[in-house]
């Protein structure tokens, strides 16, 4: 089964304490689509300008990503510039230029409206609504969001929650959305607003999955000695998660399948941060994914001694 991925595609300038690189492939759709493509076919919807490098389009095609929904229009591609502090958990936006993304209206090509799995990147909630208005009975809808929409478009975001099966956000966003300091209470409040499942990302401390009837799963983060670029880690996580769900032959989403999806999303994110932009995903293999997945499984198991 396929995954529909909708969000931003851009060009990034990124500075870390040790290195700076420019004109990198970025955007939530880029990271999520490539990550999902390791598990299932992907239908991409996004917009770029006519300055968007052909090599990036070829990269998407090399991953068998369907680009019928990619709009290439006159003008400049969305650009973002950011700088990470020493702990790599804190970053500052240096500049942002929406360019052609400012007029983005997601239009689903024929056939896309029947895609069973949907991943809505952290774009404006009205655009997320617009995508769902075009869909015909999706099996499982995942939405990502961010503090910008929580602060500036709270009503639109609240209206979105009953329309999705899962909401993904980080710990600070969960607290901002619910005004709860406890992540347990925050997840329960979000679930009461609509989505059956909530994933709260905690950066280097992993992710928490919440489901019906008190179902709960905590996934640790893979211990890395070197992190080169955290950009897109959350989008890569969401793409890996969605891709695994779409790969299931029976097509039924259960809490057990979601637990594995969270682990595989974490695996993909752990590889992504090992290099700038999507460079690590260019060389990633299925054997790499399986090897680190087995390590994650061993990390989550322990034996009580004494």
**By percentage, how much of the chain surpasses pLDDT 90?**
87
How crowded is the C-beta side of 79, counted as CA atoms within 13 Å? 14
What's the pLDDT tens digit per position in 202-226? Answer: 988 899 999 999 999 999 888 888 8
pLDDT band at 301 (very low <50, low <70, confident <90, very high): low
What's the pLDDT tens digit per position in 66-94? Answer: 999 999 999 999 999 999 988 777 888 99
Structure tokens at 167: 């909401």
271 C-beta neighbours (distance < 10 Å), count: 22
236 C-beta neighbours (distance < 10 Å), count: 29
Residue tagged 């075009």 (tokens):
134
What letters, b where the CB count within 10 A reaches 16 and e where it falls short, cover 157-186? bebbbebbbbbbbbbebbbbbbebeebeeb
pTM reported for the whole predicted model:
0.95
Structure tokens at 239: 């793409």
Residue from 136, 106, 145 nearest 6 by CA? 106
How crowded is the C-beta side of 161, counted as CA atoms within 13 Å? 22
Structure tokens at 203: 């950066």
The domains found in the chain, sorted by start residue, are: 3-299 (3.40.1190.20)
Mean pLDDT of 98-123: 96
How crowded is the C-beta side of 57, counted as CA atoms within 13 Å? 15
Q: Which runs of E-coded beta strand occur in 50-108?
A: 65-73, 78-84, 91-97
The per-residue pLDDT for 297 is 83
């Amino acid at each position: 089964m396929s995954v529909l991925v909708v969000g931003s595609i851009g060009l990034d300038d990124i500075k870390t304490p040790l290195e700076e690189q420019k004109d990198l492939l970025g955007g939530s759709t880029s990271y999520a689509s490539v990550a999902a493509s390791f598990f299932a076919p992907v239908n991409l919807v996004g917009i770029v300008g006519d300055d968007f490098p052909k090599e990036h389009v070829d990269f998407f095609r090399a991953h068998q990503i369907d680009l019928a929904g990619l709009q290439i229009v006159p003008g400049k591609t969305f650009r973002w510039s950011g700088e990470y502090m020493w702990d790599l958990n804190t970053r500052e936006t240096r500049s942002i230029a929406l360019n052609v993304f400012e007029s983005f209206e997601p239009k689903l090509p024929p056939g896309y409206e029947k895609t069973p799995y949907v991943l809505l990147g952290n774009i404006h909630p009205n655009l997320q609504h617009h995508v769902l208005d075009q869909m015909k009975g999706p099996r499982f809808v995942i939405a990502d969001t961010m503090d910008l929409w929580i602060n500036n478009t709270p009503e639109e975001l609240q209206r979105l929650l009953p329309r999705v099966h899962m909401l993904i956000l980080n710990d600070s966003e969960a607290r901002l959305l619910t005004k709860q300091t406890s992540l347990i209470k925050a997840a329960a409040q979000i679930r009461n607003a609509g989505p059956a499942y909530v994933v709260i990302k905690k950066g280097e401390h992993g992710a928490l999955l919440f489901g019906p009837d008190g179902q709960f799963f905590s996934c640790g983060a893979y211990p890395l000695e070197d992190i080169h670029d955290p950009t897109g880690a959350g989008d890569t996580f969401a793409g890996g998660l969605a891709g695994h769900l779409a790969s299931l032959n029976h097509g039924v989403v259960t809490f057990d399948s979601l637990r594995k999806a969270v682990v595989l999303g974490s695996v993909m994110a752990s590889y992504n941060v090992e290099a700038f932009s999507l460079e690590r995903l260019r060389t990633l293999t299925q054997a790499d994914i399986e090897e680190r997945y087995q390590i994650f499984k061993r990390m989550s198991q322990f034996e009580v001694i004494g």
